[in-house]
Each structure stands twice: as structure tokens, then as C-alpha cells.
Amino acid sequence: MTDIRVEKQVGEDRLQSLGVRQWPIWSKEPSEFPWTYDATETCYLLEGRVIVTPEGGDPVEFGKGDLVTFRSGLKCTWKVLETVRKHYTFS
């Protein structure tokens, strides 16, 4: 798996199959911060726009309607461009 996998504008069938609507919600205002993933995270953006730059890698931009998976062990910097609300789960 790549460090960050983005599925653009995911349909409701896919969201239902994953149980996304039952996952907790996290929100964050525009900001920039470092982050390290201790476990694999999958999230679905309800609102917002973000650029995540993996350490030593290229920036990845995603936003509302995207399903994103971050690999366990990933070190990156989050840049929240527009306030984010997302469902999330760790595995």
C-alpha cells in the first residue's frame, strides 16, 4: 500500500459497506501540524480541504467526498486549508 490512498468522490454504496456513518467524527480549523500514524487510518471527509505531505514525499490534496487511507508508520505534515469534518477509524 502507498502511504496515502485517496478514493475521489466515493458513492453511498461504498460508504455503507464500510460502515462509515457509524465512525466517530473529528473536526479541525485551518492550521498546520506534524502527525505520525501509529495505526492505519481510514477517513471520509464530510467538509473541508487538506494537503498532507509525507516526510520525504510529494503533497497529496483531498477534500469533501473523498475516502482517504493513511498507512501505519506514516510521518507527515497536515495543512488544513478549509475547516475539516471527517468520519474516521483506525485498524
Instruction: Give phi and psi for 57, each to the nearest 5.
Output: -125, -175
6-45: pLDDT as tens digits: 999 899 999 999 999 999 999 999 999 999 999 999 999 9
Is the separation of the CB atoms in 49 and 81 below 8 Å? yes
DSSP string, 52-76: EEETTS--EEEETT-EEEE-TT-EE
Would the pTM count as exceeding 0.85? Answer: yes
42-55: pLDDT as tens digits: 999 999 999 999 99
Domains assigned to the chain? 4-90 (2.60.120.10)
55-71: pLDDT as tens digits: 999 999 999 999 999 99
Residues 20 and 58: their CA atoms lie apart, in Å, by: 27
Q: What is the structure's pLDDT at 78?
A: 98
Sign of CA pseudo-dihedral 39, 85, 46, 58: negative
Type of residue found at 42: T
